[in-house]
Structures are given as C-alpha cells and as structure tokens.
Amino acid sequence: MKIAISCLIFTAMFSVLVMQDEPQAEKELATDRPIELGRVNWRRDLDTVKKKSADTGKPILMLFQEIPGCQTCQNFGSSPMSHPLMVEAIEDLFVPVLVYNNKKEDEATLKQFQEPSWNNPVIRYLDSNAKDLIERKDNIWTTSGTASRMIAALKAAGKPAPKFLGLVAAMDEKAKIETAEFAMHCYWEGEAKLGSIGGVKATRSGWRDKLEVVQIEFDPALVDYDKLLETAQSFDCASRVFTHNENQQSAASMAVGKDAIPVKEKMRDAKLSDQKYYLRNSVYAHLPLTSLQATRINAALFLKQAPDQWLSRRQAEMLRLILAAKQKDKNAFADCVWPDDDTKLVAYQDRLKAQIAKQVAVWNPAQRVTMALAGDFDLDEDGKSDRQQLIELIEKNGGQVVAQHDEKGNIIGEIDASTRYLVMGNILDGSNDARNAAIRKLLDQAKSNSVQQIECGRLLKWLGVNGQGKIERLDGKIGDEFRKRTPAQSLKSPKSHGQ
C-alpha cells in the first residue's frame, strides 16, 4: 500500500474540503435537501432509533412532516428546524427521527401513532419504548415554542436542559415586549448591568438629551416595570428615566420625580463599537450568538462571571478553534463579528465555518462526517483490497464509516438520513451474487434517504491524495494539539465616550 496514512496527523473535516475545493457539490447538496427538513440530520428507522434511545438514555424526537409541504411546513423547516441552537439541541440531546405524513412508505407508522396524513408539522417526544413523554400538541411551530416543548420533554425524561436552550425558549415570538430606557454615567457599564436582569431580552446603547442611555426590551410577564426600575436604580443606572407610556411615567415619577421624562423622539444609537462593549472587545464576539446570548455574555464579561455558561457545546468548540488560530495570528477573524440580528444567524454561522476552515484547517464542532462504502476499493491497483486503509484514511480526516458490506455480502451498519455520502468503489463482474445484492441494498438505502453518491476518486481528491502517491499535508502548520483556552481578559471602562 503506497499511501502514507501516518503523515496525516490532524483532524481536518471533509465538509471543509468540499466547501473549499468542490463548491458545486455543496450547492447540489443544499438544493437536494428539502427545505421542510431544516438542517437536522434525521434518522428514518424507528426500531434503530428506539435501540439508540435505550442505549444512550436520550429521548426520541419524532417529526411528522409533509414533504413536499405547504408554506407552514416550509417555514417550520427554515425556522426552528434550521436555527443553529435548535439543530444542536435536537441532535445532541435527542434521537431525532423523521416520519413522512404524505408518503406510502410511512403509512404503518402514521397508523401506529394515530397521526393524520397530509398534516402540518407535529413533533412527538417519546421514550425508548416509543411512548409519549409529554402530551401531544398541535400548532407548535415557533422556535421558542418548540424549544419550550423540548425542555419539558427533557424534564419528563429526567434530563437537564442546557442554559442555551432556555435562552431560545425565552425569546417568545408571541410575548408582548415593552421598551424601557435609562440614563447613567456610562452606557458600557449600564448595558452590561441591565443585560443581566432576568426578563430583559435585548439592550442597546445610545444618546438622548446629551446623556448616555441604555434602551432595553423586556417581557413584562417575566419582570414588571416597577421591579425593572428598582433594579436599575440599585445599579446606579437610572439618573434619569425616559418613559415610553403613561404607566411607566407614573411609576418613574414616583421613583425619580422630575427626572422621569416622556419620550418624544427616537433614541440616537451609539456607534457600533460601543454596542455591547465588553462582548465586542472579546473573542466571544466572533461566535454565532443569538441576541439574548449576546446580552447575557456581555453582562457576564463585565461582572467577571463565566460567559461559557451561556454557550452550547458546539459554540464552545468553535471558540476553542478560534483561540487556536489567534495564537498564531492575533488578527484572525477580524472581519467576523456576530450580526446581533437573529435572522442573519444561520448565514453568519456558515460564513464563520468557512473562515475557521481557512484559518486552522480544522472543523468538527458538530459531529464526524458520516458515509457508507459500496463496491471494491483497490487504491494502488495492486489487485488487493484497500478497504481497511480507506476506512483508516477517512477516520483520520474526521469522518466515520457507518455502513458497508463485506466480501460475503453481509451489510454492516445502516444508511439513514444523517449519512452524508455513499462512496462508490469498483463494481466488478463476477458470480458473487451476495456481494452484488448487498451493493444494491446500500444503493437503495441511499436513494430512499437522499444520500449523495460520490466516486472514490473524488473522495481521495478531497482528502489530498495525489494519484497513487502519498497524502500531502493539507496544512503545513496546524496539528491536532492546541493550547488550553484561557479566560477572556477583563476590560476596564474609560470614564467617558465620544459622541
């Protein structure tokens, strides 16, 4: 075997190589994936899912979805099922399985769970015996509503819900949000302090009447205005109170007298570099954060609390990779700053992935790229099988072979909707009917799960194999050893800001 696997000592991921070297392949994948599925890697076989649930202790998240579907089905796929934190929570905390409610192949499952066909999306949360953990509900199609149901299901299963999922649930799209506004000596500090209050959803620094002010959005169902005002005063963040309705004016007048002033015009925003100042001047600013995550992390940095408590596992891994790159180039990711707009979060995360790939040639915050093998693999054309060497090569590059067949036609593993590629080797003529039947079965599994087929030669190109020679290092500097991350440095606030 001429391919020198040992020289490949880092964990570069296939998806990075596809993104950089084969942009058309990535485009085709995105086009082929129905919008109704979102970005979740769904399993399809319920028996396998039940066993996985029993083995891992994770509850089952079963989506009944119409594909192709109506606008409601498409919106559900493009919103809650594509939100980065929701995708992570579904894949990490549950065993996700997809059931088509409009295809004959899933009629038996629909009947088993008494689900109607051609219906809007419904999610059921099940134990390993496929019994409901919480009551079935229709019309839960918002991101926050779905996150709240996931938290309830985790609780019913005796599992903790991570803080980041709680923040997603807290951003209730149906909540009646109010605006409050306070003046203080320093809006950097004021925005951080006020952003630590439960019920506060967003903060913004600005100017009014030549005073530094912080405008906040809050949910009165979680924190009423009187309590908000009292807390702002305890923080020395209410030298003047600018009110947005009569009730606020009444409450503020009793608290600060003549310093309660009704708002007559829009607040003038502070410059971008002054918004969420402590976050913006830390490495956390590069992460794809939701607006509420950004608010809480900005507060944590100022208050010298642990900002990582608000991160998801994948975000924490991104942070590690970013810090590794900045050890070598302190200006790395200078053009990557969280958008502070949740509607732009998915696009920003995709851009950040590409930037991480360019900077550190390492990308595996989510999971290993899964693939299946079918056919014969003689990489150096010596007449001997190189299947095991190919598997080692795949694994050293951050991939995982989840399904294949042996020479006797036994299928090992399974192709499902989460499988990224079916890698095709040579299909040799001969009388090995069992092997050929196994290949056909794998092809059928790939087709039914919309798994992309690629030739082995294309895979080897992505992995850096030049013809029959050795594998070239795809990165000349970065190995798989990184320095431990150190906490973000605290920042001292200057006494004044320019207008």
Q: In the structure, what pLDDT confidence band is assigned to residue 171 with cuts at 50, 70 and 90?
A: confident
226 vs 69, 259, 437, CA distance in Å? 46, 16, 72
Buried/exposed code over 199-229 (b: 16+ C-beta within 10 A; e: otherwise): bbbbbbbbbbeebbbbbbbbbbeebbbeebb
Two structure tokens written together for 482: 């990184």
* Closest alpha carbon to 257 in 241, 246, 245: 241
Residues contacting 162, CB < 8 A, separation 6+: 89, 93, 312
Q: Is the pLDDT of residue 397 over 80?
A: no
Of residues 108 and 497, more confidently modeled: 108
Rounded CA separation 337/286 (Å): 5
Tell which phi-psi region holds residue 409, choosing left (phi > 0), alpha (psi between -120 and 50) or beta: left
Per-residue pLDDT tens digits for 20-57: 333 232 222 233 578 999 999 999 889 999 999 999 99
Angle between helix axes 14-21 and 345-360 (nearest 10 degrees) is 100
Residues contacting 178, CB < 8 A, separation 6+: 217, 218, 219, 220, 225, 244, 245
Q: Is the pLDDT of residue 207 over 90?
A: yes
Q: Quote the mean pLDDT of the chain.
A: 83
pLDDT at position 113 is 93
pLDDT at position 184 is 95
Per-residue pLDDT tens digits for 246-285: 999 999 999 999 999 999 999 999 999 999 999 999 999 9
pLDDT at position 430 is 61
Sorted by where each starts, the structural domains of the chain and their CATH numbers stand as 5-11+367-462 (3.40.50.10190), 42-162 (3.40.30.10), 178-272 (3.30.1060.10), 276-360 (no CATH)
- Sign of CA pseudo-dihedral 240, 246, 248, 253: positive
Per-residue pLDDT tens digits for 3-26: 433 333 233 344 343 333 332 322
Q: In the structure, what pLDDT confidence band is assigned to residue 486 with cuts at 50, 70 and 90?
A: very low
* Environment class of 1 (CB within 10 Å of its CB; exposed 0-12, middle 13-18, buried 19+): exposed
pLDDT at position 431 is 63
Residues contacting 274, CB < 8 A, separation 6+: 187, 188, 205, 497
Per-residue pLDDT tens digits for 410-440: 899 888 877 888 999 887 666 678 888 889 8
* Closest alpha carbon to 38 in 92, 6, 85: 85
Rounded CA separation 93/129 (Å): 17
DSSP 485: P
pLDDT at position 364 is 43
| Least confident segment among 137-146, 250-259, 391-400 | 391-400
Could you tell me if 154 and 160 are in contact, meaning their C-beta atoms sit under 8 angstroms apart? yes
Q: Say what the pTM is.
A: 0.69
